[in-house]
Structures are given as C-alpha cells and as structure tokens.
Amino acid sequence: MPMAATWYLYLIECKNGRIYTGITLDLAARFDKHQRGKGAMFTRLNPVLRMIAAKTFDGRSDASKAEHQMKQLTTIQKRLTAAGWLLQVGLPSIETLPFDSSR
C-alpha cells in the first residue's frame, strides 16, 4: 500500500499586509510559483513577501478542510493562528529563493 503524501496548509504574507492561504505538497515549489506570478490570482494582485507559517496534514481532504476554515478568519486571526503554530525553520521567502532577474 503506497504511503500517504504529506500535505501542507500554508500562509503567505503579501507586501500589502494581506495573508494568502493555500495547500500544497511542495512548499518551496508553490511559493516560487506565487513569487513568479504563476500561482493564484490573489497573489498576482497582491505580490508576496514571505511564507509566515505552514502546518502538515496526512491527506488532501484534511488539508482542504483546514484551508476552508482558515479562509473564514480575518487577517489578524490568521496571524494569531500562525503565531500559535510551532516555528517552522526553512519556510521559503524572497530572501531564501535564488535571485533571477527574469522573473
């Protein structure tokens, strides 16, 4: 029986202070897509600054349910929730991604 993939619920802080919420299997790749304007429409309209938090889930269903609940919260509530999660070392940010002037 194949192992279940680890899904992540993640929060990205945008340059204007808004918070984007999403799910993915690969945090770095997804952040890169958002950074290049290839992610969600929200992050195309609100350029990203950094990933502020991520939480793991055993399956897509659980991650999707958590994402839906998170999207019901205000920006302040999202920040407080993220602060309550354990600090995740190595979350992708502008500073940690290789610079490419063609982006």
Quote the pLDDT of residue 16.
94
Render the burial of 14-25: b for 16+ CB within 10 Å, e for the rest.
beeebbbbbbbe
- Residues 11-34 have pLDDT tens digits of 999 999 999 999 999 999 999 999
Full domain range(s) for residue 45: 7-86
Per residue in 71-103, pLDDT (tens digit) is: 999 999 999 988 887 655 556 654 544 433 333
Residue 94 belongs to a domain: no
CATH number, domain containing residue 46: 3.40.1440.10
Domain count for the chain, please give it. Answer: 1
> Which residue spans within the chain are E strands per DSSP?
7-14, 19-24, 48-57
